[in-house]
Structure formats: structure tokens, C-alpha cells
Amino acid sequence: MILKVDLIVFDLDGTLADSLPDLAAAANFACRSLGLPEHPLRGYPGNDRGRGG
């Protein structure tokens, strides 16, 4: 079955959902696949978790 999609919404700044863990996991998967170092979740820009936010 093929569905017609009229709109796709990306919430990358976390206003609708906390997407940082999923984005970090995807980025780290890409890094692993390319033989590059991974980055801890606390190291991502905009992540207030490590600063008491």
C-alpha cells in the first residue's frame, strides 16, 4: 500500500519531543560506520542535561 504524504514535520530543537538522544544515536552510528570517534550525549550542542538544566 502506498500512502500519499502531504507534510513532514521535523522537530530538531526539542520543542515537541526530546529528540536529542535519537539524533545522537544516529550520529554515533554514522561515526562508527565511518571509523570515526563517537561523542557522548553530554557533548552535543544544546544539551543542558550536563549543566543542571
Output the pTM of the full model: 0.56
**Cα separation, 20 vs 45, whole angstroms:** 10
- How does pLDDT run across 18-38, given as a tens digit for each residue? 778 888 899 999 999 999 999
pLDDT of residue 51: 44
Q: What mean pLDDT is reported for the chain?
A: 80
**Distance in angstroms (rounded) separating the CA atoms of residues 22 and 25:** 5
Question: Which H or E element spans position 44?
Answer: none
Nearest to 24 by CA among 46, 10, 44: 44
Q: Which amino acid is at 6?
A: D
Task: Name which of 20, 7, 11, 27 is nearest 48 in CA terms.
Answer: 20
Q: For residue 42, is pLDDT > 90?
A: no
